[in-house]
Every structure is written in structure tokens, then in C-alpha cells.
Amino acid sequence: FRIFIRENKIWVIAHRGTEQILTIVGEEPNAIIDTILEHFQISPRYAFYLGKELERAKTALKLKRSYVQEVELFREFY
């Protein structure tokens, strides 16, 4: 899954190999993860990871910051 922000929404793209098979667009991480779970069987650990990344994306939207999957939001603040 690839997670990013575009047009003030959270986007999730699911791929199988190089083929894009599902696009989910929303604002609420819980609704997005529910949609993912309706379409895919994923491990609890991976669901936790996706939930964490979706919450980070939501935080970035609220704070008007950029979001890059797996990169800290506040790297410049120690």
C-alpha cells in the first residue's frame, strides 16, 4: 500500500505487482482501514502499521505539513 496526501485528503493505493488494484480516498484513518480490511486479508501487525501511518497522514493534514510514508513528521524538532 502507498499512502500519501493530495487535495487535502488521505490517499491509499493498493498494488499487486505493478498493477494498481484499488484506490481509497478519505479523511478518517478508521474508515480507510475498514475499507482496506473489506478488500484484503492482512496481518494484525500490518494493520497496526497502516493505522499508524494513516494517523500520521491525518496529523500532517491538520498541521498543514507534508507527509512522506515512513518519514518522521517532526524530524527538525528534537
Answer yes or no: is pLDDT of 75 > 80.
Answer: no
Separation CA 38–CA 61 (nearest Å): 25
Name the strand (E) or helix (H) holding 44.
helix 44-63
Answer yes or no: is 11 within a domain. Answer: yes
Answer yes or no: is pLDDT of 55 > 70.
Answer: yes
| pLDDT at residue number 13 | 96
Q: Taking the model in full, what pTM does it have? A: 0.86
| pLDDT at residue number 70 | 80
Residue burial 23-54, b: 16+ Cβ < 10 Å; e: rest: ebebeebeebbebbeeeeeeeeeeeeebeebb
Answer yes or no: is 71 within a domain. Answer: no
Answer yes or no: is 70 within a domain. Answer: no
Separation CA 33–CA 35 (nearest Å): 5
For 14-50, the pLDDT digits (tens) are 998 888 899 999 999 999 999 999 999 999 999 999 9
How many domains does the chain fold into?
A: 1
